[in-house]
Amino acid sequence: MHFNTLFLALASLLLAVQADYWMGSISHQGLAPYAGSGYSVFRNVKDYGAVGDGVTDDTAAINAAITAGSRCGEGCASSTTTPAVVYFPAGTYLISSSIVPYYFTMLIGDANSPPTLKATAGFSGFGLIDGNPYYTSDLNWVSVNVFYRQIRNLIIDTTNVAATTACTGIHWPTSQATSLQNVVFNMPTTSGVVHVGLFIESGSGGFMSDLTFNGGATGASMGNQQYTMRNFVFNNCGTAIIMLWDWDWTFQGLTIANCGTGIDMSAGGNSGQEVGSVILIDSTFTNVDVGIITAYTASGTPTTAGSLILENINLDNVPVMVQESGSTVLAGTTGTTTIAGWGEGQSYTLTSGPTKFEGTITANSRPNALLGSGTDYYTKSKPQYESLSASDFVSVRSSGAVGNGATDDTAALQSAINSAVSSGKVVFIDHGLYLVTSTLRIPAGAKIVGEAYPVILASGSHFSNIDSPQPVVQIGTSGESGTVALSDFVVSGQGAMAGAVLIEYNLAAPSGSPSGLWDVHTRIGGFTGSQLQVAQCVKDAGSSTVNTACVGAYMSMHVTSGSSGLYMENCWLWSADHDIDDSSNTQITVYSGRGLFVESTAGPVWLVGTAAEHHALYNYQFYSTKNLYASQLQTETPYYQPTPNSLTPFAANATLNDPTFDCTDVSGNCDVSWGLRIIDSSNVFIYGANHYSFFTSYTQNCSTFSTGESCQARIVRLQGTLSNVNIYNLNTIGSQSMLDWAGTTVAVYSANENVYPSTVTLFRTG
């Protein structure tokens, strides 16, 4: 007995040591230079009175940790000046009403021992975490403008609340540069349960990964413009997923077990469908009565609503896989089987279409270079460095960087990076705005993590020459081999940086071990410290005169020809259309030349839940590349175009294979930004491509079916020699041509009407 007691004590001590997550013990010295003296970026909820013993009501203490410091809460449109990381040590935190994360808040739990937020029996509120409250009849923040927030490493527990009382785990109507990761939802499993784990009713997302839903009536009930959701697990839910509405959605790596229904996407019925399109890949259904309920029929309305693609789906005791109005559309099995490819919607090739289809399709022929284990695509979650201690990190502030948006921090940042790489440590970018006046070089082997999206801010003459573009953050040099792991920071510029290439990736990664960028964003203008705000760059609708002080960047990101092996997840390359720090989110005109340019001749490249918006020449361009996977590309055309047009102020650069906009015989607005160009490329697999054009010279009367989708003439271009190029669920708004092949329209909007966009469910070059 004595030995057993001693053993248990030692085991408990060992677990306590192992559970000492570095984020709780590292020195926190982040600086928010525009938040006022004494402002704290990092907040440990226990410092604000939370106990975490599962008995004490910690609601007020947690909300106090969130709200301290005059932050952007009720009635505030948005703000970048008051970021916060709210940290939860291990424990059980009892709450009796909603936790409300303010704008630009990261709720992060101990990754080694995720804490629990547990509702009291009498809990009141719309979500244990209410990410966007209804203080009035409207959401507090306009959901399509909710950026820069995260929830990680938490357990959301509603089991104290009566099963028959409505209760929601997380309410999350948000948009780009947001995420949920490593969150578990525990709900009752008793008869009559009405609990919902995750509820989203609007927004323009977005990305989530590594969520588990146990019990409840519904695991996730969701409506949003577009989303990538990866590695979700549903156990014993009445319905795993209810789709309220969408334009496009990619589910990758779902595991649904012991649920009545897997996905219900039948909202609105076949005469008024609300769900535009859904893609489901690399997923498993086990002991599920009905895999998917759809409202799609060949005669349903809108024409392409309910578009659905299934690829590489494993079934184990799923009698019905797809059902419509109670009838079986795709039979399942009481044994085991794999659905290689199946879909319903409208298809095109370069020379044919639209063709309605419902049934088996040939699955994409996936190259080994893009695969992880087995036949699934490679994936990797954002590293959280659970096994490391605080001593394994090198703080840039401790290395001499200031981060006040005024001091030149180039040398200090470079020193911190070099020191960390040489010693095998991780660079910790404390929150701040770090001015750099020459290229910041990140060598192979670097690991970098930011605190609350710190900003690397290009400044000075080195980046200002439009005729001599220079990288701001250069990852590797030409010919260099190796990998990096970078997460949670922003690259931007201060003032007119017409020659700034914000991120340049050069590394050749070894096969099977790609570099990773997770939550690494570019932001061009529209925030305090950028000097590209309303005061400098207010919109001048209809004017062709360029304010050269508002030429913000040459290119957001360049993946160079000699590079290979790059995995990007939840990265948003944004040239600002409005000022986030203006109380009215006033529109601005900032000019940025190019979005994401991928010309890796070897690949592989994975783009998981990425977006690129408001760049002048194009948002995405894939040139002479191969082995590229993408889920949910999302773009918007600059609101100011076509006055000026795409070639103003950025002349086409032939060495970069820029578009030249031959508008011969093209009617409408021709010389405006391409959402996507694919040139001379092979083995390209796009699982959701969403390209939107909402304005003509800031006038929003051109982006609906009834107005002729006339904002621009063309938005997606294919040209050159192409092989094995595949697009599932191409969605466009505001463009008359959805898909252009070397100057010829392949698909026109009017033949592919959907709930708001037009949709081509399946395209292949053949």
Q: Domain residue spans in the chain?
A: 433-764
- Mean pLDDT on 724-731: 99
pLDDT at 766: 74
CA pair distance 221, 181, nearest whole angstrom: 17
Q: How far is CA 127 from CA 45, 96, 447, 663, 750, in A?
A: 19, 11, 35, 52, 41
- Mean pLDDT on 612-620: 99
CA pair distance 70, 547, nearest whole angstrom: 34
Q: Indicate the pLDDT class of residue 345, thresholds 50, 70 and 90.
A: very high
241-270: burial string, b at 16+ Cβ within 10 Å, e else:
bbbbbbbbbbbbbbbbbebebbbbbbbbeb
Pairing of strands 327-348, 307-324: antiparallel
Tokens (6 digits) for 254: 């779902």
* Cβ neighbours for 625, distance < 8 A, ≥ 6 positions apart: 598, 599, 600, 601, 603, 605, 681, 684
Which residues on adjacent β-strands are paired with residue 107? Answer: 86, 151
pLDDT at 20: 84
Contact indicator for 246, 220 with CB cutoff of 8 Å: no
pLDDT at 54: 98
Query: How many Cα atoms occupy the beta-carbon half-sphere of 728 within 13 Å?
Result: 30
Amino acid identity at 203? G
* DSSP letter string, 190-229: STT---EEEEE-S----EEEEEEEESSSEEEEEEEEEEEE
List phi, psi (to 5°) of 583. -65, -20
Q: Indicate the pLDDT class of residue 638, thresholds 50, 70 and 90.
A: very high
User: Which has the closest alpha carbon to 264: 232, 249, 295, 242?
Assistant: 242
- Quick check: 533 pLDDT over 80? yes
Tokens (6 digits) for 324: 């419509």
- Mean pLDDT on 458-463: 99
* Cβ neighbours for 373, distance < 8 A, ≥ 6 positions apart: none
CA pair distance 42, 765, nearest whole angstrom: 51
Handedness of CA 75, 79, 83, 88 (dihedral sign): positive
- Quick check: 18 pLDDT over 80? no
- Mean pLDDT on 350-365: 98
DSSP helix/strand/coil, 2: helix
- Quick check: 461 pLDDT over 70? yes
Q: Indicate the pLDDT class of residue 13, thresholds 50, 70 and 90.
A: very low
User: Which has the closest alpha carbon to 354: 723, 706, 750, 692?
Assistant: 750
Q: Hey, what's the torsion of the CAs at 524, 528, 532, 536, to 10 degrees?
A: 170
pLDDT at 11: 42
Q: How far is CA 636 from CA 595, 712, 735, in A?
A: 11, 12, 11
- Mean pLDDT on 182-197: 98
- Mean pLDDT on 97-109: 99
CA 281 to chain centroid: 18
Q: Indicate the pLDDT class of residue 19, thresholds 50, 70 and 90.
A: low
Q: How far is CA 516 from CA 30, 382, 635, in A?
A: 24, 8, 22
CA pair distance 325, 297, nearest whole angstrom: 10
- Mean pLDDT on 72-85: 99
- Quick check: 7 pLDDT over 90? no
List phi, psi (to 5°) of 354. -80, 145
Contact indicator for 286, 317 with CB cutoff of 8 Å: yes
- Mean pLDDT on 630-657: 98
pLDDT at 670: 97
Contact indicator for 747, 353 with CB cutoff of 8 Å: yes
Tokens (6 digits) for 151: 């929830």
Residues in the chain, total: 766
- Mean pLDDT on 31-37: 98
- Quick check: 17 pLDDT over 90? no
- Mean pLDDT on 530-534: 99
Contact indicator for 284, 251 with CB cutoff of 8 Å: no
CA pair distance 295, 505, nearest whole angstrom: 44
Query: Domain 433-764 classified CATH 2.60.40.10?
Result: no
pLDDT at 734: 99
User: What's the pLDDT tens digit per position in 206-218?
Assistant: 999 999 999 999 9
pLDDT at 12: 44
